[in-house]
């Protein structure tokens, strides 16, 4: 009798262990997504393109019904031309996302034309290089795109995504997480665009 009870208990324990292993190997116990800054590694020569691809995929991940994403488009106004990495259009407005994948420590102020980039080669040597200030860039892009779309009376907003989260400044133009992107493109501010207006703007950006 005792042997039978022990055998039953062992069988129950085996079932519990196997069930737990199965649950852990499935997707049921995955940690919920936390909105942390993104950091990637990429060869320096391809870092810019790689950063743009990463940012595009991140933006796609927060899109909802009625959101439209345009990538790598060119617009011009009064002889001024600009390249836009990512533009989202929806009922909340028009949003530009300028992407940078600068590797190294950045120094500068929000209104500087250029920032300093300090990079250590791992052998005790530090290299200094000037890079474009993306906040300055996105402000220019906002102006040109707003003028390009001025017939629709749209307030264009623009943001910067620094893939390596190494901004030297605190700025409302610089987004730090996926949650920031989601909030930026899904909050009513100065715009509340009709479906017809969204469709018309889409045609202007294709």
Residue by residue, DSSP assigns 82-106 as EEEEEEEEETTEEEEEEEE---SEE
Q: Determine the distance from the C-alpha atom of residue 185 to the mean position of all C-alpha atoms in its chain, rounded to a whole number.
A: 11
- pLDDT bin (cut points 50, 70, 90) of residue 39 is low
Rg, Å, the chain Cα set: 24
Smallest CA-to-CA distance from 138 within 108, 114, 158, 157 is with 158
- pLDDT bin (cut points 50, 70, 90) of residue 126 is confident
Is the Cα dihedral 157, 169, 50, 34 positive or negative? Answer: negative
**Rounded mean pLDDT of the chain?**
83
Q: H helices of 61-192, where?
A: 134-148, 178-185
pLDDT at 48 over 70: no
| Mean pLDDT, rounded, for 9-30 | 41
pLDDT at 78 over 80: yes
Query: pLDDT tens digits, residue range 133-147?
Result: 999 999 999 999 999
Both tokens of 103, joined, read: 């590797």
């Amino acid at each position: 009798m005792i042997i039978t009870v022990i055998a039953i208990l062992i069988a129950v324990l085996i079932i519990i262990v196997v069930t737990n292993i199965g649950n852990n190997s499935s997707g049921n116990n995955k940690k919920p997504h936390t909105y942390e800054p993104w950091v990637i590694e990429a060869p320096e020569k391809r870092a810019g393109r790689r950063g743009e691809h990463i940012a595009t995929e991140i933006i796609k991940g927060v899109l909802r019904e009625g959101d439209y994403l345009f990538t790598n488009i060119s617009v011009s106004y009064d002889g001024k031309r600009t390249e836009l990495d990512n533009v989202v259009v929806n009922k909340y407005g028009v949003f530009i996302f300028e992407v940078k994948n600068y590797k190294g420590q950045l120094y500068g102020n929000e209104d500087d034309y250029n920032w300093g980039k300090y990079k250590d080669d791992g052998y005790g040597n530090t290299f200094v290089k000037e890079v474009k200030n993306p906040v300055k860039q996105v402000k220019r892009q906002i102006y040109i795109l707003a003028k390009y779309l001025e017939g629709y009376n749209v307030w264009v907003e623009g943001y910067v995504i620094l893939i390596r989260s190494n901004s030297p400044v605190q700025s409302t133009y610089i987004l730090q997480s996926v949650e920031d992107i989601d909030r930026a493109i899904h909050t009513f501010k100065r715009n509340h665009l009709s479906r017809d207006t969204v469709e018309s703007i889409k045609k202007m950006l294709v």
